Amino acid sequence: MTLVAPAPPEDRAEQQRRLEDAYRHCAAIAARHGKSYHLATRLLTPDRRPAVHALYAAARSADDLVDVPGDDPAGELAGWSRALLAELDAGWSADPVRLALVHTYRRYAIPVEHLVDFLAAMSTDLEVTGYPDLAALDRYMWGSAAVIGLQVLPVLGTAPGVTRKEAAPYAIALGEAFQLTNFCRDVAEDALRGRVYLPADLMAAHGVTWGQLAARHCDARFTSLMREMVAITRRRYDDAEPGTRLLAPESRDCVRAATALYGGILTEIERAGYRVLDRRVRVSRSRRLAVFAHRLAAAQVARVSVTRAKPKSRSSTGA
């Protein structure tokens, strides 16, 4: 069945109103569900923030279809995906999250292949419950994490003389580092959903079983496994770090803040003695605000420089 995307309102002012409402809707989703990410986006120039919120909200919406499923999660995800791809081609959607995403994709010329690969990874979560080794997990993370970094990269922009292709490997590594951090933090939550994102060969090497995860039993074996997983994740952050200087100057402090905040989850896991099975580890609000304040001055200097160099856009959405 061929889907026909809705046409935009004929009145240009009404189009603009709906688009700005859609971006505000996405910002609210990001603020509610991604406190660290949302705080970091406040360090971006105002014209960039809505697009990052749209990318986050779309990823969250698709993820919720999988993680908080209805009666037919596969059908709901497939329907949502088909509608989005048709709307991307047409340039308009009646759904606020998809409308903001369509506008973002078209505005920043983000390759549609990234979206297709992301949606395929979400579909995988409905079928695959575990991964035999880190290489297999990396293949899954191409769609669930790497392409997220590649989607955000055009929004952040690159430094003068730096191409997207040069910056792409670091965007991929940072997306994977964030995703691996989620896997380390959410072991118990994922196990309740019948999924394990810890490589099976590492679990076996440390003597950890699926049953142990489901029972939320922390012991020396689980601690040893998580210590290795945290080390693996930190190496991804190390791989990503050189890429920050390749970004547009006015975007660097946002990435540095997001890295400090999300990487800080690993520190909190260590402080908790790797006990992520019986509690949800998080970065405190005071720590989040401290990181934000630390980066704010540098971000403001960069933003002032950019504002002086560029004319003002007509709206924060760039429409």
How does pLDDT run across 74-114, given as a tens digit for each residue? 999 999 999 999 999 999 999 999 999 999 999 999 999 99
Query: What is the b/e burial string over 25-61, where b = at least 16 CB atoms within 10 angstroms of the residue's CB?
Result: bbbebbeeebebbbbbbebbbebbbbbbbbbbbbbbb
85 DSSP 8-state letter: H
pLDDT of amino acid 306: 58
CATH code matching the domain that covers 14-308, chosen among 3.60.20.10, 1.10.600.10, 3.30.565.10, 1.10.1660.10: 1.10.600.10
Bridge partners (DSSP) listed for residue 158 = 247
- Express each pLDDT in 231-269 by its tens digit: 999 999 999 999 999 999 999 999 999 999 999 999 999
- Domain map of the chain by residue range? 14-308
Contact 187, 213 (CB under 8 A): yes
pLDDT of amino acid 2: 57
Residue ranges in the chain modelled with pLDDT below 70: 1-3, 69, 301-319
Dihedral over Cα of 186, 127, 88, 154: its sign? positive
Q: Which pTM was predicted?
A: 0.91
118 DSSP 8-state letter: H
Give the distance from CA 186 to its chain's centroid. 15
pLDDT of amino acid 305: 62
**Dihedral class, residue 257 (left if φ above 0, else alpha if ψ from -120 to 50, else beta):** alpha
